[in-house]
């Protein structure tokens, strides 16, 4: 199973830079993402609408396909358990005051670690830089 953060999940639906590589890699195994990544993905679709990259009709089409795929189990949405939240919040105690780890990224990394993934796939440089703190390898395919 492959752990994608929302940046990569979005590329399964939107032709953002690197989408071909991400989609080809996604086709090699089952996908997983933390549950909050589902909301992040829809928010990214909406951002594309706000920015004019998608028309209202295109937005609805992408959102409809995403919902169909979610209902079909195309992505395993991993729960944000208390253990995940605890792991994420504990890390902030030891991080340098200059380390820019956002809470949503910490939840992705903690979720991947709690579910025994060894790697997380993303093109988010902050998430990738923080992966090591969760004993994960951050991989950018793009």
Strands (E), the chain: 2-3, 31-34, 75-78, 119-121, 137-139
110: containing domain: 2-139
Selection from 55, 59, 33 nearest residue 46 by Cα: 59
51-68: pLDDT as tens digits: 999 999 999 999 999 999
55-107: pLDDT as tens digits: 999 999 999 999 999 999 999 999 999 999 999 999 989 888 888 899 999 99
* Whole-number pLDDT of residue 98: 86
- CATH (domain of 95): 3.40.50.1010
Number of domains in the chain: 1
Rounded average pLDDT over 120-134: 95
Quote the percentage of the chain above a pLDDT of 70.
Answer: 100
- Cα 135 to Cα 58: distance, rounded to the nearest angstrom: 39
Rounded average pLDDT over 2-14: 97
């Amino acid at each position: 199973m492959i752990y994608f953060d929302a940046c990569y999940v979005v590329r399964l639906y939107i032709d953002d830079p690197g989408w071909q590589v991400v989609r080809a890699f996604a086709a090699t195994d089952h996908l997983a993402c933390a549950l909050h990544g589902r909301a992040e993905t829809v928010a990214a679709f909406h951002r594309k609408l706000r920015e004019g990259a998608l028309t209202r009709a295109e937005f609805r089409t992408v959102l409809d396909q995403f919902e169909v795929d979610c209902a079909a189990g195309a992505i395993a949405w991993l729960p944000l358990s208390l253990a995940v939240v605890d792991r994420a919040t504990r890390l902030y105690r030891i991080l340098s005051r200059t380390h820019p780890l956002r809470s949503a990224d910490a939840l992705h990394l903690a979720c991947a670690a709690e579910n025994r993934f060894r790697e997380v796939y993303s093109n988010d440089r902050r998430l990738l830089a923080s992966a090591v703190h969760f004993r994960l390898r951050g991989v950018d395919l793009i």
